[in-house]
Structure 1
Amino acid sequence: MEDELCGVLVLAGTPIGEVADAPPRLAAEMGSADVIAAEDTRRLRRLASALGVEIGGRVVSYFEGNEAARTGDLVRALREGSRVLLVTDAGMPSVSDPGYRLVEAAVAEGVRVTAVPGPSAVLTALAVSGLPVDRFCFEGFLPRKAGERASRLREVAGEPRTLVFFEAPHRLADALAAMAEAFGGERRAAVCRELTKTYEEVRRGPLASLASWAEGGVRGEITVVVEGAPPAGPADLGPAELAALVAHRESAGQPRKEAIAAVAAECGLPKREVFDAVVAAKKAASGG
């Protein structure tokens, strides 16, 4: 339960480019917070100046390098009744930025946590990508090492939901080439660069084509949106899947011979292939 004697932790979204996109509540929170924890205090003060806000509270840095050490101090301030505002350089705190550690600690202490919704590179990129957005998953930054990156991409190669990644511009070409290898060069994608900024660009196309384009060098903040994996067709089903389809029909009371014939017809396969899959599954189950 939340402790009413504690202060409040406010997570505030900041512009990802255009300052005018800042939510009106952000200026009010910046002016009234007892403590502002900022990923970059200099950028915070530039933003405050652009918004015409006079900061009256204490400003502290809160970034990846000091996040572990400073979280305890901020939680103590919250326990003492302070209103603590957390902002990052762009977008929402804790989304590939500092914040999760502090939220976790605040919740554990019974501190109320709220948010000032603001711009999000993830949602903006999805909206302009031209790819399905009804279901998606955010993967953040890929590992820097080639082997670890390839392993991560193999893990999500069969993911049917649209995928969203952040990537550094100097690693974009290698990342897109790795995606093309893991997902197939024809998988559709969109590279969203400098969203809401002066030189905003959205480049859409197959992964292989985008990887070739990126070899020429790309600058700016990058968000990559990739189409999800297509549903598996009958030709993609392996012996285990075929045997499972037969077993499902048998569990519903259909004789095995009829179940095999029905699955073969549905999948456009010879009955012998389905029969062999059932036999192989039985042997595997019995350890034979």
Structure 2
Amino acid sequence: MSEKHIDEVSGVKTTGHVWDGIRELDNPMPRWWLWTFYLCIIWAAGYAIAYPAIPLINGASKGLLGYSSRADVVAELANAKSAQSVYLDKVAATPLDQISADPELLRFAIAGGAAAFKVNCIQCHGSGAQGSAGYPNLNDDDWLWGGTVDQIFATISHGIRFAGDDDTRISEMPAFSDILEPAEVRQAAAYVVSLTGTAADPAMADAGKQVFADNCVACHGENAEGNQDLGAPHLGDAIWFYGNSEAHIAAQIAKPRHGVMPAWLGRLGEPTVKELAVFVHSLGGGQ
């Protein structure tokens, strides 16, 4: 074996590695670093003995101390549920219209409703309850079935056009393509647009007013303000499910789309549905 090169300046042997004429000195590691390394090995061995650490076929070693972070989490969750049960029982026993009279219970109900909303409702209504095409915005004051906390509770409980609930909200606009001529459908759409804007053809809007009077006032009212008992929307507030252009409105008149909302009472239970109703009502659009 060839003798290792000795650095002329420091007098220390080199490792034999050379990079661009630069040689690496073969200095020993500092004692403090070695002792730290050895202590880490001892600490790791002690930790593996004291705590769960070594993988086994059906789990892991339990450790001499018997500590389990999972057991701590289970205990903390049990304590949290125990603390919540007092308020949950109170929510269940308190009429909806009286929950707001108890500030502490109201805060709990809103927090619980917000959590339930994130799990069950954002898929349709959005994370901010702002809605999207075909799904209502829950932040405004425009309601198909009423915006009191009791009305919201009924809608959440039984859903809308949900076949599995006998008390579900039901309203279906007829397909006027089977009743009206295409020109009359366009006239009615032009009139509806004229309620909040300017129709493309004002003459069609004038003719559409009579079409509306003959076919639509029974549900939407003479002033197109809607009817919450029937789930008929207000047509004069420029808030639309499926678009506000004449083409979109004409398509809805001719062949209306009917959305479906599930009934949540059987799935979530009355206390959670109460919390959801209180939360939605608190968003600012509740009546």
Same fold (TM over 0.5): no
Larger relative CO (CA 8 A, sep 6+): 1 or 2? 2
For the pair shown, the structure with the greater C-alpha radius of gyration is 2
Q: TM-score range by the shorter chain?
A: under 0.3
